[in-house]
């Protein structure tokens, strides 16, 4: 079983961390693992998936403090419409989008999204996330 498979038991730990919880959705395994390790080091409970369709589903069932999205399946681009749906489900969560995107700063600001360029630098990610942890 891949660490990117979802199961109903995968969500059991939210809220158990002293600092909160995070959701990482990425189709790029190395990026997903790197982000997950950083978030766990920051004492966040982390749920991990690789399909965009699961993001809103899990966001409806658990309260996440941080949601990191990157390299999703081709059928679900990380466009403002998709992210607006996620924002409606989790208005208080910090949303970070990794990688290349065609967003304008106005769109990102309107939806409260933080854009993180790739290649991902671990120290840059830690610096960006520290205020949330």
pTM of the model: 0.80
* pLDDT, the chain, mean: 80
- Check residue 7 and give its pLDDT: 38
- The HSE-up count of residue 25 (CA atoms within 13 Å, CB side) is 24
Assign 79 to helix, strand or coil. Answer: coil
Burial of 32 (0-12, 13-18, 19+ CB in 10 A): buried
Q: Closest by alpha carbon to 26, among 75, 90, 58, 69?
A: 69
- Check residue 127 and give its pLDDT: 84
**In the predicted model, is pLDDT for residue 9 greater than 70?**
no
Cα(4)–Cα(1) distance, rounded to whole angstroms?
A: 8
In CATH, what number does 28-43+57-67+80-133 get?
3.40.50.2300
Q: What is the pLDDT of residues 46-93, one digit of tens each?
A: 999 888 777 888 888 889 999 999 877 666 777 888 889 899 999 999
């Amino acid at each position: 079983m891949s660490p990117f498979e979802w199961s109903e038991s995968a969500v059991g730990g939210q809220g158990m961390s002293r600092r909160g919880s995070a959701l990482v959705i990425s189709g790029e395994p190395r990026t997903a693992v790197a982000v997950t390790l950083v978030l766990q080091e920051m004492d966040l409970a982390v749920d991990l998936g690789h399909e965009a369709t699961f993001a809103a589903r899990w966001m409806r069932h658990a309260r996440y403090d941080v949601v990191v999205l990157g390299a999703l399946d081709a059928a679900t681009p990380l466009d403002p419409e998709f992210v607006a749906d996620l924002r409606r489900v989790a208005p208080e969560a910090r949303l970070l989008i990794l990688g290349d995107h065609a967003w304008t700063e106005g769109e990102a600001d309107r939806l409260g999204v933080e854009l993180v360029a790739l290649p991902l630098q671990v120290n840059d990610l830690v610096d960006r996330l520290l205020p949330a942890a």
